[in-house]
Structure 1
Amino acid sequence: MKKNVLFMTQAAIIAAIYVVLTMMVATVNLASGAIQFRISEALCVLPFFTPAAVPGVIIGCFLSNVLTGCALPDIIFGTLATAIAAVASYKLKDHRFLVTLPPVVSNALIIPFVLKFAYGLEGTIPFFMVTVAAGEILACVICGSVLITALMPVRKYIFTPSVTQ
């Protein structure tokens, strides 16, 4: 029972942080569009530490897309891209560097079609693949790696249930 509460609490906190970070970046118009840098995507590396990060980032992405006024296809397929990335990152949890790559690949393959067809942005699918991948590399590979490094010394306090539970 306490393990379920811990899981749900961790997932909810991760979702909330994702939303807050996305809303902050949205104020400077970097949360969506052809060139985007969602710092919240760095949280997609958290499956390295806990399976609760999988629903956490998925829910966080969904809520962020709704709250920032994304088009319905973006809400659906953007959340799907994050879900694929989160599950794949969890499957790669034993590989510190590889865990950062699924969000880059997933978003680079899915989001360009959303940008082109849901928003009608000028540009080609390959161009959008490059811009989306670049933003994901900055957020997930670079910032995500920094996040992993920062959390490593405290991971047992944050992500592991205490012995008394």
Structure 2
Amino acid sequence: MKMNKSKFLTQAAMIAAIYVVLVEVFKPISYGIMQIRIAEILTVLPYFTPAAIPGLTVGVIISNVIGPYGFLDIVVGSLATLIAAYLTHKIGRKLWAPLPPIIVNAIFVGLMLYYIFLGSPDEMPLTAIMGWVALGQVIVCYGLGYPFMAILDKYKNNIF
């Protein structure tokens, strides 16, 4: 069934707004090498609706505009989210839906954080940073996101 344009835009805007609010509420743990960005629970939404792709991307753009890492995070973080959201939408298997944000963010955000912290007292090997980013993503995407998907499954016909 094809979604009408106003429903698509409304869902995308709501997802973006909720993402930004969750990042701000949990700001102390939303940034850094070991980040547990609670807002990433929403990265499972492209499994249910394509409106989550632009919604998540815009939410990340806004969050990173007001975040600590500046232009690089705005570009890299948003691109990572766009790619991960698209892959999540296309993946087709519920069990695998949380996987793209884990892998894509570990690579993109891991590389970005490595570059940002290069030469600082917090400098770590690239693989360690990627591992920490992946761990934070696993905690949120599978630990919280997968149960969230089970709840959404019950109501998906009424929501999406």
Deviations 1:135-163 (A, max 9, x none): 0001112211011011111111111xxxx
Aligned residues: 155
Taking the aligned partners of 1:104 and 1:49, their CA distance within structure 2 comes to: 18
Counterparts of 1:112 and 1:35, CA distance in 2: 10
Deviations 1:94-136 (A, max 9, x none): 2001111000000111111211212434111000011000000
Query: 1:1-165 alignment to 2 at 5 Å?
Result: 3-26=4-27, 29-92=28-91, 94-120=92-118, 121-159=122-160
Q: Distance in 2 between matches of 1:69 and 1:14?
A: 22
SS in 1 for 2:147: helix
Give yes or no for contact 2:117–2:123 (8 Å, CA) kept in 1: no
Counterpart of 1:97 in 2: which secondary structure? helix
Separation of aligned partners in 1, 2:111 and 2:154: 40
Aligned match of 1:163? none
In structure 2, what is the Cα distance between the partners aligned to 1:3 and 1:119? 44
Q: CA deviation at 1:41?
A: 0.8
Q: Which one has a larger percent helix, Structure 1 or Structure 2? A: 2
**Normalized against structure 2, the TM-score is what?**
0.93
Distance 2:114 2:130 in 1: 11
Q: Report deviation, 1:46.
A: 0.3
TM-superposed deviation, 1:68: 2.1
Deviations 1:23-42, CA, capped at 9 Å, x for gaps: 1110xx21111110001111
CA RMSD in angstroms, aligned pairs only: 1.2
Runs of 4+ displaced beyond 6 Å:
none
1:48 positional shift: 1.2
Q: How far, CA to CA, are the matches of 2:116 and 2:130 in structure 1?
A: 15
* SS of aligned partner of 2:33: coil
CA distance in 2, matches of 1:36, 1:20: 16
Distance across 1 between alignment mates of 2:135 and 2:68: 23
Instruction: State the TM-score, normalized to the length of structure 1.
Output: 0.90
Once residues 32 and 82 of structure 1 are traced to their aligned partners in structure 2, the CA distance between those partners, rounded to angstroms, is: 15
